[in-house]
Structures are given as structure tokens and as C-alpha cells.
Amino acid sequence: MIAQPFDQDPPDDEDFPAGDDGTAETEIVVICPHCGEANELSLDAGGGSLQEYVEDCAVCCRPWRVTVRYDAAGSAEVFTEPLED
């Protein structure tokens, strides 16, 4: 008898599972790249495993670009970079 290889779907960006089962992070604290104050962001895991958008700082009102990246386990990594207006 030949052993079957373990059938496991690799994670892939088109079919992002963490957004559907409630395990993905939905809130995260980031530091404003302009003023250094902490901002709490709401994340939308249903938007995909890689998201980019512009957010204004709640403290100094200056804009930054937010990059959100989810890993297959639903943990979010968030990067911010300053935008000039």
C-alpha cells in the first residue's frame, strides 16, 4: 500500500480564509508617522490579504498610507508611511 500524501491547500491570495471565520485581527494600534501618536485602526479582513489605503491621523489630521498584510493565520501586519498633502 502506498501512503497518500497529506492533502493540504496552500494559502493563496485569491482565497483568503481568515476573513470568513472570525479569527482575523480587526483592530490594531499604529503610530502616526507625522506626530508619533498612537491611532487605533479598524481593519477589514474581508478586503483581502493585502490592502493599501489612505488614513488621516486622528491627532494631527495629516494623511498617511496604510499597508495591511494578513498572514494565513489571520495575524495582521500594518505599515504606515507619511503622505504630504
Binding site for Zn ion (CB under 5 A): 32, 34-35, 57, 59-60
**Comparison of 39 and 49: residue with beta carbon closer to Zn ion:** 39
CB of 61 to Zn ion, least distance (A): 7
**Comparison of 35 and 50: residue with beta carbon closer to Zn ion:** 35
What's the 3-state SS for the chain?
CCCCCCCCCCCECCECHHHCCCCCCCEEEEECCCCCCEEEEECCHHHCCEEEEEEECCCCCCEEEEEEEECCCCCEEEEEEECCC
CB of 59 to Zn ion, least distance (A): 5
